[in-house]
Structure 1
Amino acid sequence: MARAIVARWQEWGGSGTQHLVLSDNRDGMSVDAVAISSDPHPFAARYRITIDADWLMRRLEVSLVGREDVLILEADGKGHWTVSGRPMPALDGVLEPDLSVSPFTNTLPIKRLRLAKGESAEIRTAYVSVPALEVFPDPQRYTCLEEGCRYLYESLDSDFRREITFDEHGLVTDYPGLFRRLF
């Protein structure tokens, strides 16, 4: 991976955009991003993610433009989480966040799991609903359709499923119905 990667996505059916910078650091990587959503109620969110060398999230900060509250999720990489400093036992065993406004958080399980073609894995994520800034566990399944670039994502508590494509860095290029990569 290059020293820093810049990516931008657009909402699939709206005018919202997201700008993200993924940078290497001595302990792993960091993400600094802004998501501007147009639907159904316009808002802008800034998020920062700290990721260790094994592609495990260690810290996620989410704030909304015009609001003072900040959501801070921290994880120990072994499945224990705090939400704004309070232990969150409902997330025990979870290894990744799933940020509702970002296709980037799909990169984390893809990079960590390293599935071969035809392999599947069921995971639970810490789903972060934005702009509500609510967090809850969310069961999901990823199936590798084409190594490194195409996966089937399935929500295990609803009928939502999509084929998602990724680039050589593991960043989403197309997430039908939600996001499309601009660059």
Structure 2
Amino acid sequence: MAVLTLNRSIRWRGLDLETIEHCHIIANGRDTRIRGTIIGPDFGLFYRLKLDENGHTRTVKIERTDGKTLELFADGAGAWSDDRAEPIPALRGCVDVDIWPTPFTNALPIWRSDWADDQPVSFAMAWIDATDFSFKRSEQIYTRLDATHFRYQSADFAAVLEIDADGIVTEYPGLFTQI
């Protein structure tokens, strides 16, 4: 994995849920910090992620505008705990997080891996629905098709994602578009 250095803002429009998102990423080689805000038709939320120097998720905090908060911690090696330091066995082995409804978290496994075209790579993701705070383990497969396209597959879903030079989704067919 190359050292990631970024200081950039991105915006997406959600096509399915009619959301708008603003996200800011600061990556300096020591860690990566991501802050995002998503406004939906009947919800609003703020999320924060911190990744370690290896691109592994270490903290996830999601706060909804109704005041409810979800905070999870990871050790970078696949063990997760909640804000009371209670282990979460269901997420054991997950290094990355995938938050719905944002296309941003698709960048995490893309950033963390060395890619060859048409070589699928499997990931165990901590999948979080930020609208209701449910979470589960999700097995996902990413396949780099070329420098700007990845096939994403999960249990019952597949899509070809278009990414920019920073590995960030620009088009997620039917779900999100960068604006």
Q: Above 0.5 in TM-score? A: yes
1:163 has 2:166 as partner: no
Residues 144, 3 of structure 1: CA spacing in aligned structure 2 closer, same or farther, 3 A cutoff?
A: closer
1:27 is matched with 30
> Structure 1 residues 153 and 3 mapped into 2: Cα distance closer, same or farther (>3 Å)?
closer
Displacement of 1:36 in angstroms is: 0.9
Give runs of ≥4 in structure 1 deviating > 3 Å.
Answer: none
1:36 to 39, 47, 52: 39
- The answer to whether the 8 A contact 2:5-2:28 is kept is no
> What does residue 98 of structure 1 align with?
98
Partner residue of 1:125? 125
Q: C-alpha separation between the residues in 2 aligned to 1:140 and 1:30?
A: 23
1: distance between equivalents of 2:130 and 2:105? 13
Amino acid at match of 2:69: V
Count of matched residue positions in the alignment of Structure 1 and Structure 2: 175
Counterpart contact for 2:5–2:29, Cα < 8 Å: no
Report the AA paired with residue 144 of structure 1: R
How far 1:58 sits from its partner (Å)? 0.7
Alignment partner of 1:178 out of 172, 175, 178: 175
Question: What is the rounded CA distance, in whole Å, between the counterparts of 1:105 and 1:128 in structure 2?
Answer: 11
Q: Which residue of 1 aligns with 2:49?
A: 49
SS of corresponding position for 2:132:
coil
**Relative to structure 1, is the Cα distance of residues 55 and 2 closer, same or farther in structure 2, using a 3 angstrom cutoff?**
closer
User: How many angstroms does 1:53 deviate by?
Assistant: 2.0
The alpha-carbon deviation at position 2 of structure 1 amounts to 5.7
SS at match of 1:110: helix
Deviation string, structure 1 residues 85-115 (Cα, Å, up to 9, x no partner):
3201111111111101111110000111222
Which residue does the alignment assign to 1:151?
150
Report the AA paired with residue 104 of structure 1: F
1:80 aligns with 2:79: yes
Whole-angstrom CA distance in 2 between matches of 1:115 and 1:83: 32
**1:26, distance to aligned residue in structure 2 (A):** 6.4
Cα RMSD (Å) of the superposition?
1.5
Distance 2:55 2:115 in 1: 14
Gaps of 5+ in 1: none
One-letter code aligned to 1:32 = R
2:93 is paired with a residue whose SS is coil
Q: Percent of aligned positions with the same letter in both sequences?
A: 28
CA distance in 2 between counterparts of 1:181 and 1:13 reads: 14
Give the whole-Å Cα distance in 1 for the aligned partners of 2:97 and 2:119: 21
TM, length-normalised to structure 1: 0.90
